[in-house]
Structure 1
Amino acid sequence: MMTNAAGGGWGLLFMAVLIPGFHHQRNDSSIQTGSNSKAQIYQPVLQPSESIPPIGMYTLRTRAGKPCIKASMGAEFIVIEKKTWYFNLDPSRVQTTGYCEKQAALMSLTLPDNAASLQFTFRKEKDVFYVTKITAHVSPLPVCQKCANKTYSGLVDHEKLFKTTDGRSFKCKSENLLLMSSVFNVKLVPLQIQAFTVPKGQYGKEVECWADFNRRVIPIVIGATVVGLILIAVLTFLFIKDRRRQGYESL
C-alpha cells in the first residue's frame, strides 16, 4: 500500500513537471466555485433624450383568480440631475403585485432588484373609484463616473386621479405628468385603467379625460367659430352692398 501511494505521488509529480497546465485538484467539498464573481444587480440606465415609452399591459388578480385591476400604460421616469435624464419602464421586466379589497386596492409595478417601481393606490366610494396615491422610485446607474449612487423617489398623495364610475375604465391618450418631487417626475402616456370591477378581465365603457376632450372639442369649436365669423362677414358685405344699390335708385 505504501509503495502504491508513493508511486502515485511520483507519477503526479512527473506529470506536473512535463505537462504544461496540469494542476492537481483536491476532492474537497469546502472549495467554493466562483467566489470571486459578483452577482449582477439590475440598474436602470438614464438617457439624455426622450423616447416613446413601450406600452405595458398589467392585470392584478384576487386570490381566487378574478381580475380586479387592469391597466395599460407607457411610463417614463424623468430625473433632474444637473440636466434632465429619462428612463422608460420596461414592461417585459415588470413584476405586478398588490392586493384588492372591497373599498381599497393597490397595484405595484416593480423592476428586478427593486431598481424602480410605480405604485397606485385605489379607493372606492359608493359607485365611484379613483387613484388617491401614486408613489415611485428609481435607482439608476450614476450619470457620471464620479457621481454617487442615488435613489430618486416621490409621491402624489390625497388626490382623486383618474376618477370614474365603477365598471368603467378611465382612458387618456394625452400626457399625464406627475410631479413626484423637485427632481423626479413620472409621465404616463397613454393610460387606460380600471379597478375593483373588471368583468371577464375586459375594460368597460371608456371615460375620456379632460385633456383628450379639449384636444378633440376645441378644434371643432374654433373651426365653427371661424366659419361663423366668415359667414357673418359675407352676410354683412352683401347687406351693405344691397343698401348701397338701393341708395342709387331714382325716386
Structure 2
Amino acid sequence: MMKLSMARGSLLLLTWFAVLGCLQAVTLEVKERNSTCIKAELSASFSITYNTSSGLRTVQVPLPDRTTVDATSSSCGTVGSLQWLVATFGSGHTIGLSFSTNGSLYNVATLTLQYNLSDSSTFPEANSSAVVTVVSASVGIWGAINTTYHCVSPISVVVGGQTVTFSDMRLEAYMPGNDLSPKLICAADQVSTTTPTTTTRTPITQSPTPTPPGTPKRGVYSIRNSNGTVCLLAQMGLQLNFSYVSQSQNKTMQEIFNLTPNLTISSGSCDSRRATLVLTQDRTTTLNLIFSLNSTTNKYHLSGINMLANWSDMTAPFSASNTSLDYLRTTLGRSYMCDAEQTLAVVPSFSLNTFRLQLQPFGVTTNQFATAEECQMDQDQMLIPIIVGAALAGLVLIVLIAYLIGRKRSQAGYQTI
C-alpha cells in the first residue's frame, strides 16, 4: 500500500513538472520604424472547454515559446487610438491585447482569444472545426505611463467561458524607449507574504487617520454599447479610502479621497455577461468597477474593483485589485439602490465608500432605471421609525387604558349609598 502511494505521488510530481515545463516565458514586441511601443515578457496557459461526441472536454494549452507577433494585426496606433499586440501560436490560434491610455495611465482594454477547433492534436474528437473567437473587457491590467506592469503571481481572466492565466508577467504599452521601464508591482504580489529579514531600514511612521472630506457629490454616469444604446446607468457618490507612502513626509499616509463628478471622465463597455465602468479623475486616479451576470440565476453583482493612483507625492503608484467580490447583488431587470453609506472592502489597503447609489449595468431600456431593489440597510432604516412609532403608540395606549381604569375606580368610590 505504501509503495502504491509513493508511486502515485511520483506520478503526480512528474505530471506537475511536465505542466511547469510547458509554461515557458515568451517575449513579444510591437515595433514601428525600429521603435518599440509594446513589449511583453510572460508565461501563459489557456483552459478551453469544447464539445465532443462523448460530452464536454477541457484541455490545458500552454503558450509555446515559438509564439510570434502578427505584424499585420499588431499596431502602435495613432494619437487617441488603441495599440494592439496580436500573437499567433500553434495551428491557427491567436491571442490579442488592445491598450488604451488617458495620457497618464495605460490599461488592457480588451483581451481576445481565438482558437481553431480543427487542430486535432490540441482538441481531439472536437465536434466542430470552427475557429472560435472570444473577447473580454476589464482585464484589470494597467499601469502608469513610463512604468512596467510586473506581476509574478498568476492572473486568471475569464474570456467567453474560457480561462487565460498569465504568470510572471512584465508588460508595458505606449513605451518611450525600447526597454522596459522600472517595474510596477501588481496588487496580487503586494499582498503576498515574504520571510522577514534583519535588514535595517529607516522606519516609516504611520500617519493619524485624516479628517473625512465630507460626503462626496453624486455623479451621473452612463455607458453606451457599439450601436449607441445605453447599456449601463449609474448615479452615486464615491469615496476612496487607501494608504500610500508619502515621498515628502517619509511615512504612510491614510487618504480619504472624494471623486468629483465634473472632474471625472467615464468610459467602459458592456456585453451579455460582463459590464465595466471606468472613472478617471485628473489623469492621476482611475477606478474600474466590473459587473458580472449569472445567466442561470438571472442575478448580477459587482464582481471586481480595480484602483490605480499615481500622485506626485507617492514613492510608487498605488495599485489595488480584487476580481472575486460579491457586492450589490440584484435581479436582472431591476436596478440596485442604496441611499445609505456602504463600505466595500477590496484589499487591506483599500476600500470604496458609496453614497446615494443607484445603478443598473444590465437590461437597461428607454435610458432609464428599472424598478429598484433596495439594499438591506435602507430597509432597516425604514423599519426604525416604524418600530419607534409603534412603541410610542403602544405607550400611549397603555397610558390611556391606565387612565380609564383609574377614572372608573375613582367614580366607583363616590357612589350614593
TM-score by length of 2: 0.43
Matched residue, 1:62? 225
Aligned mates of 2:294, 2:279 — CA distance in 1: 21
Match of 2:331 among 133, 142, 165: 165
Correspondence for 1:236: 402
8 Å CA contact 1:69–1:194 kept in 2: the answer is yes
Would you tell me which structure has more strand in proportion to its own residues? 2
SS in 2 for 1:202: coil
Q: Deviations over 1:70-128 (max 9, x none)?
A: 11111110124656421112334434333322233233223464632232222143573
The residue that corresponds to 2:287 in the other structure is 117
- CA distance in 2 between counterparts of 1:104 and 1:111 reads 23
Q: Contact 1:129–1:195 (CA<8 Å) still a contact in 2? A: no
Unaligned runs of 5+ residues in structure 1 are 1-39
Q: CA deviation at 1:178?
A: 0.9
The residue number in structure 2 matching 1:77 is: 240
Separation (CA, whole Å) in 2 of partners of 1:212 and 1:156: 26
Preserved contact between residue 152 and residue 183 of structure 1 (Cα < 8 Å)? no
Measure the CA separation in 1 of the matches of 2:243 and 2:381.
Answer: 29
**What is the Cα deviation at residue 177 of structure 1?**
0.9
Pair 138,99 (structure 1): closer, same or farther in 2 beyond 3 Å: closer
The partner residue of 1:153 within 320, 324, 333 is 320
Deviation at 1:152, TM superposition (A): 4.5
Cα distance in structure 1, aligned partners of 2:300 and 2:406: 57
The answer to whether the Cα contact below 8 Å between 2:238 and 2:352 also exists between their aligned partners in 1 is yes
One of 261, 267, 271 as aligned partner of 1:101? 271
- Following the alignment from structure 1 to structure 2, what is the Cα–Cα distance between the partners of residues 115 and 126? 36
Q: Which residue of 2 aligns with 1:192?
A: 358
**Matched pairs, number:** 205
Counterpart selection for 1:211 from 377, 382, 385:
377
1:113-165 Cα offsets, whole Å, 9 max, x none, are 4632232222143573322413132425366xxx6234042437341x32333
Structure 1 contact 105–121 (Cα < 8 Å) conserved: yes
Residue segments in structure 2 that go unaligned for 5+ positions in a row: 1-102, 106-143, 145-209, 245-251
Whether 1:133 aligns to 2:307 is no
Between stretches 70-79 and 150-159, larger displacement belongs to 150-159
CA distance in 2, matches of 1:140, 1:153: 12
Cα distance in 2, alignment partners of residues 115 and 241 from structure 1 = 72
Write out per-residue CA displacement over residues 149-204 of structure 1, whole angstroms, 9 at most, x where no aligned residue: 34042437341x32333332212111111112222211111111012211121112
Identity, % of aligned pairs? Answer: 24
Instruction: State the secondary structure of the residue aligned to 2:216.
Output: coil
Distance 1:94 1:124, change over 3 A: farther
Q: Name which one, 1 or 2, has greater alpha-carbon Rg.
A: 1
Q: Which has the higher contact order (CA 8 A, sep 6+)?
A: 1
Cα pair 2:284 2:310 within 8 Å, conserved: no
RMSD: 3.0
Q: For the structure 1 residues 125 and 101, does the alpha-carbon distance in structure 2 shift closer, same or farther, using more than 3 Å as the test?
A: same
AA aligned opposite 1:86: I
Q: SS of 1:180's equivalent? A: strand
State how far apart, in whole Å, the 1-side matches of 2:243 and 2:394 are: 47
Residue 86 of structure 1 aligns with which residue?
Answer: 256
